[in-house]
Structure 1
Amino acid sequence: MPAQVHVYRLDWVESQLFASTSHGLYQLEDEIWQQTSVTDPCYAAISWGDRFVLTENGLLCGNEDEWLPLAYRGKKTYDLLVTPHFIFLGYEDGVAFYDLFTGNWCSMPLYQAVTSLAVFNTMLVGTTERGGIVVGNKKGGFNQHRFEGMFLNRLVTHRGEVYVCANTGLYKLGEIRGNIILHALDAQAEVTDLLIWRDMMVISTRDSGIKYKHADKTGFQTVL
């Protein structure tokens, strides 16, 4: 991969590893990164029956040989979440959703980008480009929240739990009397991404490399 390429995210898609980068989408083949036909900056590759790529120029659908524009061409698209009735899209103007019954897209503008999405306690939640969080109010809109001194980087879902990667560490999303709260998980570093595999939790950090811990440990003490 060229030295000037900035990697935003790695994703496993149907047993293939993809890298979403500042110079397009790359695929790992025989231990060599090969560029696909997607050359626009992209932020994620996701598979939900079909393959999707979220790019600076809209949402694409297809495969490594041919990617076709699907929605919001000319808009930065960041994350995709599929539920039984809707496909939700985090993009530069807020949140959009695709109704699987009617086949129509609908936009819910928030006047800021929504960069990651999750479902928490039947509510749609998302991080924003300003480091805050938006929470669906079940009335067709969103409530916006900020945690003082914190910048939320990304939401990660695992087995029904929603984890928050932030500049002040790693947290688990919680709720008390209708209020969103964050339970600290003792990462002691700015966390940009999270992977949970079996009984191991692996985090990527801004300045401390990659750390991991086993389920029976209290802190991220070992650096990979």
Structure 2
Amino acid sequence: MEINSTWQSTNDLLSLKFTTLTASRDGVLYAGTEGHGVVQFSPLRSWESASEGLPAQVHVYRLDWMETQLFASTSHGLYHLEDEIWQQTSVTDPCYAAIGWGDRFVLTENGLLCGNDDEWLPLAYRGKKTYDLLVTPHFIFLGYEDGVAFYDLFTGEWCSMPLHQAVTSLAIFNTMLVGTTERGGLIVGNNNGGFNQHRFDGMFLNRLVTHRGEVYVCANSGLYKLMRSEATLFCTR
């Protein structure tokens, strides 16, 4: 069964729980949801379903562009959009992000994969849930179910930094590696090979987003910008 419906009113949209948002070069806005696939909006049309080809009640974790192709990381695997129809790739495990950096990477419930639409091969941490990938000049950082791992581009080796909790998104803030955790907290690199952990009262942090050099925090109580004052780290609207 496929999802194929039009959202008739603002009230219909308010009933959706949005999980991810992205836009095409020609101004079409795409939003992923929990259980209702993908909806889209363009200047010439209202909000409407853009879920043809997706399974019913699918949870869309992320929408990502790799070059000019839109990918949906979902509870039913990885899909790509072709002629307004979602096509399933060979990745059928639940996946959380698709990232293009020279090669193409997919973060799945069964480890980090590398490849293309025809063949995705296991790269690291097979059997582990992998959530986010961050590329820097010297390292590739991975947020996964046990904490953080990094790949040294010079030595070609992976190294784990266990935190006994999943790290679900990553960013660089003031030259420090920061990340959100499955418990809604924030981890901050301490420049000694480890992390300090922070909690903000009344806030559950879901994801970090970097935009124009700033790090924004998507939380249960709204959108914030990550700031630092002397030795204090805080979020401001």
Q: TM-score, normalised by structure 2?
A: 0.77
1:161 paired to 2:214? yes
Whole-angstrom distance in 2 between the partners of 1:170 and 1:7: 20
1:37 paired to 2:90? yes
Residue 183 of structure 1, CA deviation: 1.0
1:170 paired to 2:223? yes
Structure 2 counterpart of 1:180: 233
How many pairs were matched up? Answer: 184
Whole-angstrom distance in 1 between the partners of 2:151 and 2:140: 5
1:13 paired to 2:66? yes
Which whole-Å deviations, capped at 9, do the CAs of 1:115-169 have from their partners, x for residues lacking one? 0000000000000000000000000000001001110000000121000000010
1:64 paired to 2:117? yes
Residue type of the alignment partner of 2:93: D
> Which segments of 5 or more consecutive residues in structure 1 lack a partner in the other structure?
185-224
Whole-angstrom distance in 2 between the partners of 1:71 and 1:182: 33
Query: 1:104-183 to 2 correspondence within 5 Å?
Result: 104-183=157-236
Residue 179 of structure 1, CA deviation: 1.6
1:93 paired to 2:131? no
> Which segments of 5 or more consecutive residues in structure 2 lack a partner in the other structure?
1-53
Residue 4 of structure 1, CA deviation: 2.7
Residue type of the alignment partner of 1:159: R
Q: TM-score, normalised by structure 1?
A: 0.81
Whole-angstrom distance in 2 between the partners of 1:167 and 1:50: 33
CA RMSD of aligned residues (A): 0.5
Whole-angstrom distance in 1 between the partners of 2:163 and 2:188: 11
1:22 paired to 2:75? yes
Which whole-Å deviations, capped at 9, do the CAs of 1:163-220 have from their partners, x for residues lacking one? 0000010000000112211111xxxxxxxxxxxxxxxxxxxxxxxxxxxxxxxxxxxx
Query: 1:209-220 to 2 correspondence within 5 Å?
Result: none
Residue 92 of structure 1, CA deviation: 0.1
Whole-angstrom distance in 1 between the partners of 2:61 and 2:189: 27
Whole-angstrom distance in 1 between the partners of 2:95 and 2:153: 25
Residue type of the alignment partner of 2:114: C
Residue 40 of structure 1, CA deviation: 0.2
Whole-angstrom distance in 1 between the partners of 2:67 and 2:160: 29
Segment drifting more, 59-68 vs 175-184:
175-184
Which whole-Å deviations, capped at 9, do the CAs of 1:32-85 have from their partners, x for residues lacking one? 000000000000000111100000000000000000000000000000000000
Among all aligned residue pairs of Structure 1 and Structure 2, give the percentage whose two residues are the same amino acid: 86
Structure 1 counterpart of 2:100: 47
Whole-angstrom distance in 2 between the partners of 1:64 and 1:4: 24
SS at match of 2:122: strand
